[in-house]
């Protein structure tokens, strides 16, 4: 595995992917995502999802052990593929990392969904907005008014921005191609089976727990970048204060800190009670400001884009700095 600390003589030898290849590929892949969004056809993540569905027909049983096998085969396969792709011809190394980064990132597509929601709400098209928000959240939107739909959208921008932008960049910086592909496998499986339904309560346990683990550090990186992009010491302190106070009330160990940080940075209140197919879930009250309104979607999208750029710069810089330290030691 091409780890963040693997920059000694051995990893710089013939056939191995250098740290520079990964760093440059991450930057180019991020730029491709900004420019083009997700591939319209033949998306690799969609292909992985079809493989996972086919495998589930053979691995499914309402037991945690079956879910662990399902997770191990698919995530292990993705990591192995990433490892195999670390040894292409020299000229192909950066393009391979860039293509993988583009495939696993989802920042531009998330922004497009938020922009579409904003347009629908600005046009007072509640029916269209209730239909469109299903692309972003799992809660029941049938009874939501315009401001509650805006809250759902802003919370999705916060949570999915961490999952679809910061986390892939983090794992790419830490572990190169195996990290990129392995993380996307973990996150995709969580979306497919990692929720508490009658079918997946036990089978999806491993997927949900591994996703929580994989996103734990990136979620805290997202909080740090949110604080940084307030551009003031007072704003940064407010972000951390709100996260410490309010995030524990949220049932997710990762979405809670990220959404609380967004609430503080935007000066709005997030959280509350959500309805998931008739099951009501209390998400806590996050932040001190007034509730989110329809005018806040564009602000949240812009904040997420700043966080993405700051995360890219910070994580790539950390990788290159560690490479320099390792080189000095050798």
Exposed, middle or buried by CB within 10 Å (0-12, 13-18, 19+), for 128? Answer: middle
Three-class secondary structure of residue 216 per DSSP:
helix
Mean pLDDT, rounded, for 310-322 = 95
Q: pLDDT tens across 63-104, in order? A: 999 999 999 999 999 999 999 998 888 889 999 999 999 999
Q: Would the pLDDT of 275 be above 90?
A: no
Q: Would the pLDDT of 15 be above 90?
A: no
* The predicted structure's pLDDT at residue 89: 86
Which H helix or E strand runs over 100? helix 93-104
Domain residue spans in the chain? 19-329
* The predicted structure's pLDDT at residue 9: 40
Higher pLDDT, 191 or 197: 191
Q: pLDDT tens across 280-290, in order? A: 888 889 999 99
Neighbours of 226 (CB within 10 A): 33
In the chain, how many H helices and how many E strands? 12, 2
* The predicted structure's pLDDT at residue 280: 82
Higher pLDDT, 317 or 13: 317
For the chain, give the mean pLDDT.
91
Which H helix or E strand runs over 274? strand 270-276
Mean pLDDT, rounded, for 153-173 = 97
């Amino acid at each position: 595995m091409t780890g963040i600390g693997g920059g000694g003589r051995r990893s710089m030898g013939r056939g191995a992917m250098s740290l520079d290849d990964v760093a440059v590929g991450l930057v180019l892949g991020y730029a491709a995502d900004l420019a083009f969004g997700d591939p319209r056809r033949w998306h690799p993540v969609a292909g992985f999802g079809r493989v996972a569905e086919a495998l589930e027909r053979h691995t499914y049983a309402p037991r945690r052990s079956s879910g662990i096998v399902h997770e191990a085969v698919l995530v292990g396969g993705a990591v192995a593929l990433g490892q195999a792709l670390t040894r292409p011809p020299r000229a192909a190394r950066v393009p391979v990392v860039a293509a993988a980064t583009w495939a696993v990132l989802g920042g531009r597509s998330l922004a497009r969904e938020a922009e579409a929601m904003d347009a629908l709400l600005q046009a007072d098209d509640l029916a269209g907005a209730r239909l469109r928000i299903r692309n972003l959240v799992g809660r029941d939107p049938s009874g939501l008014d315009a401001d509650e739909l805006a809250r759902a959208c802003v919370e999705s921008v916060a949570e999915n921005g961490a999952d679809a932008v910061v986390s892939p960049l983090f794992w790419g910086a830490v572990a190169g191609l195996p990290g990129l592909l392995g993380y996307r496998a973990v996150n995709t499986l969580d979306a497919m089976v990692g929720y508490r339904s009658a079918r997946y309560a036990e089978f999806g346990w491993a997927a949900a727990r591994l996703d929580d683990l994989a996103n734990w550090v990136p979620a805290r990186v997202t909080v740090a970048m949110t604080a940084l992009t307030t551009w003031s010491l007072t704003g940064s302190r407010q972000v951390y204060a709100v996260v410490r106070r309010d995030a524990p009330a949220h049932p997710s160990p990762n979405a809670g800190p990220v959404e609380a940080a967004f609430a503080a940075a935007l000066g709005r209140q997030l959280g509350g009670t959500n309805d998931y197919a008739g099951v009501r879930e209390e998400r806590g009250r996050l932040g001190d400001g007034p509730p989110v309104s329809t005018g806040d979607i564009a602000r949240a999208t812009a904040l997420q884009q700043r966080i993405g750029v700051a995360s890219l710069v910070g994580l790539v810089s950390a990788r290159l700095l560690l490479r320099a330290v390792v080189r000095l030691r050798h």
